[in-house]
Amino acid sequence: MEQRKVFRYAIVATATFAWQDERGIPQRSEGITRDMSGNGAFIYAAVGPTEHVPARIEFELPPLEEGKAPLRVRVKARVVRVERDPADPVHSGFAVSYEGAVLRGGEEENADAHHR
């Protein structure tokens, strides 16, 4: 039985991601998260990277307070699992493990917008 070291949260967030295909050609697509943790996420997407491929992902989470900017989290990640089911393409997607993250949003982002 698989034992996870980190709790996963059922969070629905928009995910925009970029990677290079097997020929080295830059690719870009979008999806929706199924769940997220401090170590990784599962993203539902019709098109996405293959297993073991590095990717850059930006998650857009709802604001923590009404009237605030959405929370954006940018991560470098590696694809650890791909789930493709031609009979159920809506639930196809991939799991990633984070390699680094930058958090943006709320007051910090609003303050940055005023200084531009």
- Any domain includes 45: yes
Please, what's the b/e burial string for 56-94 (b: 16 or more CB within 10 A of its CB; e: otherwise)?
ebbbebeeeeeeebbbbbebebbbeebeeeeeeeeebbb
Q: What is the pLDDT of residues 95-104, one digit of tens each?
A: 999 997 665 6
Q: What is the pLDDT of residues 3-45, one digit of tens each?
A: 556 788 899 999 999 999 999 999 999 999 999 998 999 999 9
- pTM comes to 0.80
Residue 96's domain spans which residues? 14-114
- Domains identified in the chain, total number: 1
Q: What CATH number is associated with residue 108?
A: 2.30.110.10
CA distances from 46 to 51, 53, 71, 89, 106 (A): 15, 17, 24, 6, 30
